[in-house]
Structure 1
């Protein structure tokens, strides 16, 4: 018997693929190949090629259900106000951005056909033609100008107002061209415009409850804190997208219930699988884990305006980072060094070492702060991934040296509104951002909207502005290294680890890829995935 495939061509491979799609059995396929002169020993290779090709070929149709980790009555379809993956995933299905970040971390054009500059200060945006909103209106420069200028209006309450403030002039040159002038040169503008908040909305929009955008889906149902259902935009400007007929998204805050819903077939995707439940998913033939370590982290925030500096320093030495990775994260993470730029980013400061676990040194600083013997509240919640387990580990370490940490476990519902940024000591949960400047602008500049520990440093602010417009990457890297060191030493944000996100996925879900902007393909998976028939 020979392994040679006689008279077998690429078109014959296609015939086998088509037969598989029509539901042909392996017996049917074997008869087909024998009739074409294929040796039995070669049949396996043909089957393998055909099955892989079929699996990689998008299938149209189907209703996909996905569950996130948290929701609240503050859920919004206004991209400018979005603050959680819950909001991002919905906005990504309804709207588009001028640019988007691909799986390699490089900005690509979306609603913009071209984005050009000569000095990184004045940028010309040429819009893609033939794009329409869900209500039939054609996209023009007026929509882009309106959408970007909204972030500059304090009444809007944009989450990226600080970042948008560098745009000093936004004007339409003609119906297809927009000019953006920055306060100072910023080579990162293509990355910035790819942030979820900079989705383009229709000129004059004040009511976002209908979610009218240019995106892959049209809104059918939106109940804040409950669920959303979107259906395929049959006039979508991107060819052959989306593949799904409809997509439903809601939250199941309890990690175990979320995994059980996946395994029961009630949903096809569950975000943030608890490492303790990872084996339940990995061990099932009809399910898998989608893993990504792209810069997400859960951090302990100690507000500098409400706590003594010596207490903050002591806490940094009390954190057993290796134990947190091993026990709290169950190995799903890398040890962090108290600054937000992870190893996945080219600007990560590899020379900045994590503080060693040193209870004696921690006790020394706690004594200086006068906190030993006091009961110190620490707010944790399931809303901030792994924060409860982290808190318990830190609490145990503190108890060994006489530090009493009162772990206050609060509900996920409302956590981000009531406790995050407000409680003296609490946990945060930060999604990946593509550039250091975005992290610094959102989280660490003196007027950052999400300044979790109220860190304020004029020197840091000045360095951030200097590096922003730099075209010399080596010099920029040098400045960013120093800024990461300043955060690690001076800020009250303790980042013990960069987490590996693991999402639970049905084997029927195809086309899911890792994206630097976070899980769920940077929260845009609804547009690109498909359900195997």
Structure 2
């Protein structure tokens, strides 16, 4: 890294091969970032371009070195490069595969360089992974194969571990997790915290939700503690949180602020006043509600939220569509909905919430599915992206959260947590002490049996 922190030079490991045995080198890195910033027609990479928008230029210094020059000092640049690739895959793709498919890999199982190769896929049922015998680290992986089963319902995932049908699950239901925790001689459990959060989406291009007073009313009226308790009882622990998971700029006493406090009488009264001021004293009927699986969201927590909106504010809906979770991204992007409730929330690649706020709530945010736009918030985010003084950052972050409370882009409820459970013979994943991230990484797993 250069002395001013704006130039990073990375040597690339030699001898790494893609699963099709072609050699990995700097051309793959350059082709991947070219695709992020200049995607082919029909391919959307806006979220990735935004994630790495601090990059001014990049180049290859020969086959085994790449250099990135940043627009300004970006403290979390390395954190972004190393972020968990589960939901927003900041991974390197093979240049030859990008070229062969015109940059569109949605219908391809593209070659990787990792410790496992794909041996078999049974759509909607199972993936079978096999140890990559040409992996660059000859000591890994420790196991010969992995079978990943598609089990949509989280109680069923927990039951599969409890009954010995599977060895491990990243997320199970809280009830099955507690049953496993009560038998430490057989099972191991963990509660790694998340950096993002969860809530409901409303489309600000639809009548009613375009009004700031309506959004404020929802922000004030819905009982976050009750919803958090419901989700925790049927899915995983979703602790109440204020515009992001645990982060360094949280406002002291945020849980006593209007909308966030547990005492709701005053908040509900003010919410009804706001609805009347907006011309919706008796509420209104939204055109389309979308509920996304799994069932705890579409059948339990979702209906609980909708009941509160109807009872307290008179907001109901006309049509309902229930979708599979795999369709969430496309459905959110298409925007043919008024209210969207599902498991996908607001993911953050860093402990600092700035990039998350930019991604979901800035006017041109790559995942601003609510179509929110507040120029004051954008101005604060632009300053947060370049400010390095921590006291100034605290002031700016506080102002940003105050803005989000005053002009809510979504109804934000809770932080998130993982809830993994495994048999005690599963080793190498640090399940009880795991802090965050690393989902779907198996190269260090081994079985003591």
Please indicate, yes or no, whether the TM-score normalized by the shorter chain is above 0.5: yes
Change (3 A) 1:453 1:317: same
Which stretch has the larger CA shift, 492-501 or 271-280?
A: 271-280
Q: Displacement of 1:137 after TM fit? A: 3.2
**Residues 159, 176 of structure 2: 8 Å contact kept:** no
1:66-94 Cα deviation digits (max 9, x unpaired)? xxxxxxxxxxxxxxxxxxxxxxxxxxxxx
In structure 1, C-alpha distance between the alignment counterparts of 2:199 and 2:75, rounded to whole Å: 29
Work out the CA distance in 2 between the residues paired with 1:347 and 1:373: 36
* Equivalent in 195, 209, 212 of residue 309 of structure 1: 212
- 2:151 aligned with 1:252: yes
Alignment of 1:295 with 2:195, yes or no, is yes
Change (3 A) 1:458 1:413: closer
In 2, the alpha carbon distance for the partners of 1:218 and 1:414 equals: 22
Structure 2 distance, partners of 1:348, 1:241, is 40
Alignment of 1:121-520 (within 5 A): 121-155=6-40, 156-158=43-45, 159-195=47-83, 196=85, 197-206=89-98, 207=101, 208=105, 209-222=108-121, 225-238=124-137, 240-284=139-183, 285-306=185-206, 307=209, 308-330=211-233, 332-337=237-242, 339-340=243-244, 342-343=245-246, 345-353=247-255, 354=257, 355=259, 356=261, 357=264, 358-371=267-280, 372-376=282-286, 377-383=288-294, 386=297, 388-401=299-312, 403-406=314-317, 408=320, 410-417=322-329, 419-421=331-333, 422=335, 423-427=337-341, 428-434=344-350, 435-513=352-430, 518=437
Residue pair 2:8, 2:67 contacting (<8 A) in 1 also: yes
Paired with 1:125 and 1:243, the residues of 2 have a C-alpha distance of 28
Question: Are 1:187 and 1:469, in contact at CA under 8 Å, matched by a contact in 2?
Answer: no
CA distance in 1: counterparts of 2:378 and 2:435, whole angstroms: 26
Change (3 A) 1:397 1:140: closer
Q: Is the 8 A contact 1:359 1:397 kept in 2?
A: no
The correspondence for 1:528, drawn from 431, 444, 449, is 444
CA offsets per residue over residues 39-82 of structure 1, 9 Å max, x none? xxxxxxxxxxxxxxxxxxxxxxxxxxxxxxxxxxxxxxxxxxxx
Flag the 1:301–1:129 CA change in 2: closer, same or farther, 3 A: same
CA contact (8 A) 1:381 1:388 kept: no
The worse-fitting range, judged by mean Cα deviation, of 262-271 and 381-390 is 381-390
RMSD of aligned residue pairs (Cα, Å): 2.8
Deviation for aligned residue 1:138: 3.2
Report the secondary structure of 2:382's partner residue.
helix
Separation in 2, partners of 1:173, 1:385: 51
Q: TM-score, normalised by structure 1?
A: 0.70
For residues 362-401 of structure 1, what are the alpha-carbon distances to aligned partners after superposition, in whole Å with 9 as ceiling and x for unaligned?
2222223344253345433334964653333333434444
| Cα shift readout 1:237-272 (whole Å, capped 9, x = no counterpart) | 235222221122242212332222222322222233
Distance 1:365 1:213 in 2: 53
TM-score (normalised: structure 2): 0.82
Shift of 1:315: 0.7
Number of equivalenced pairs: 412
SS at match of 2:111: coil
Q: Is the 8 A contact 2:9 2:67 kept in 1?
A: yes
Higher mean displacement: 401-410 or 447-456: 401-410
What is the CA deviation profile of residues 261-301 of structure 1, one whole-angstrom value per residue up to 9, with x for unaligned ones? 22232222223322244333334452333212223432111
Q: Could you tell me how far apart the structure 1 residues matched to 2:405 and 2:97 are?
A: 42
Rounded to whole Å, the distance in 1 between the matches of 2:326 and 2:113 is: 30
Separation in 1, partners of 2:249, 2:115: 33
Residue ranges of structure 1 left out of the alignment (5+ in a row) = 1-115
C-alpha distance in structure 2 between counterparts of 1:524 and 1:472, whole Å = 36
- In structure 2, do the counterparts of structure 1 residues 201 and 417 end up closer, same or farther at CA, with 3 Å as the change threshold? closer
**8 Å contact kept, 1:170–1:179:** yes
* Inter-partner Cα distance in structure 2 for 1:129 and 1:347: 41
Offset of residue 318 of structure 1 = 1.5
Q: 1:359 to 1:466 in 2, by over 3 A?
A: closer
2:118 alignment partner, SS class: strand
Deviation of the 1:450 alpha carbon = 0.9
Partner SS for 2:34: helix
The Cα offsets for residues 486-521 of structure 1, whole Å up to 9 and x where unpaired, read as: 223323222211133212322221222366653xxx
**8 Å contact from structure 1 (residues 170, 181) kept in 2:** yes
Give the Cα–Cα distance (whole angstroms) in 2 for the partners of residues 143 and 305 of structure 1. 40
Contact 1:445/1:455 (8 A) holds in 2: yes
C-alpha separation between the residues in 1 aligned to 2:294 and 2:212?
A: 27
Q: CA deviation at 1:413?
A: 4.7
Q: Tell me how far 1:190 sits from its aligned partner.
A: 0.6
TM-aligned CA deviation for residue 152 of structure 1: 0.9
**Distance in structure 2 (CA, Å) of the matches to 1:280 and 1:174:** 55
